[in-house]
Amino acid sequence: MPFSRRNFIKTTALTGAIIPFASAFSAESLSERPRRSKIYFFTKDLDNYETEFMMETLAMAGVDGLDLTVRKGGKVEPERVTEDLPLVIGTGKKYNLTTDLLVTDITGTEDRQTREVLKTASSLGVKHYRLGYYRYDLSMGILKNIEIIKSRIKNLSEMNRHYGIQAGYQNHSGGVVGSPGWDVFELIRDFPVETISSQYDVRHATAEGYRSWIFILHLLRRNIGSLAIKDFTWQIDKGRARIINVPLGEGLVDFDLYFKTLKELNIQVPVTLHIEYHLLSRDEESYSLIKKQKIMVDKIKKDIQFIRDHENV
């Protein structure tokens, strides 16, 4: 039988063989320090790989579960949620990975796929999903935009209550609603956190407010349902600033102050790790699948260890 990654996975499953690199990423080594939060992996960068390979890679890296993309172009297409989501979640369970979080394009109840996605996700034990993004129509003014968007969120809050699931809105930089951070609070403040919450992203908050991110964190403290974590730096090119995504601790985010503030505010929610920098260089893309896996595991594991080290200081 010719060698393939699929055959390799099947063989190890049947024989009980130890998967490559498993000794380096054993459960024992990962449990040496007490854990304070569960770390999930935003699957975007691994979505194009076979599901089995993706799950094996993340299990080897030591994540607790998946922040799974269920959106256009994601791991699961919304139109196929009833067929594909149970299969993906089931594969994750084989590797002791839970799928508690989803990333969606949902912005309202009027989309015919919204109810199907939430109904299916809830039935499979998913507890939290990230909303899609809203954009400002400046012709009507900021406050009018907030008013209109809040009416859509109100409907979502009611649907979320029905299905027992929590939505999170990410403060994303780049000009969408939520970039300033203050507007996230205005959008969600009137709804119970069990149905509508903030997915606080310290990287985007820092990019939009280098020193004011901490005030947004304080403002949203009682509304936070999840934490997205990543890092970045600036590059000046011909007088223009450009964001360069980097591994945790190699950029501008003040993680010492961030984790200190989380402890002071007693914010204990799921953490979703976002790998926005390249897991593989252009040359590494041509490597064998096993060799590429080793590189990806090492990088993900390094970011996870960074979080663990800061949580336990």
What's this model's pTM, rounded to 2 decimal places? 0.87
User: How is 67-124 classified by DSSP, letter by letter?
Assistant: EEEBSTTSSB-GGGHHHHHHHHHHHHHHTT-EEEEEE-----S-SHHHHHHHHHHHHT
3-class DSSP assignment, residue 149: helix
Residue 17 DSSP code: P
| Residue 313: predicted pLDDT | 63
Do the strands 240-246 and 231-237 form a parallel or antiparallel pair, or are they unpaired?
A: antiparallel
| Residue 261: predicted pLDDT | 97
| Residue 57: predicted pLDDT | 98
| Residue 43: predicted pLDDT | 98
**CATH number for the domain formed by residue range(s) 33-311:** 3.20.20.150
Residues 6+ apart with CB under 8 A from 207: 173, 232, 243
Contact call for residues 160 and 191 (beta carbons, < 8 A): no
Give every residue of the chain whose pLDDT is below 50, as ranges: 1-33, 35
User: For 113-167, how does the pLDDT look when each residue is reduced to its tens digit (9 = 90+)?
Assistant: 999 999 999 999 999 999 999 999 999 999 999 999 999 999 999 999 999 999 9
Phi, psi dihedrals of residue 60, rounded to the nearest 5°: -65, -30
Q: Where are the domains of the chain?
A: 33-311
User: For 234-267, how does the pLDDT look when each residue is reduced to its tens digit (9 = 90+)?
Assistant: 999 989 999 999 999 999 999 999 999 999 999 9
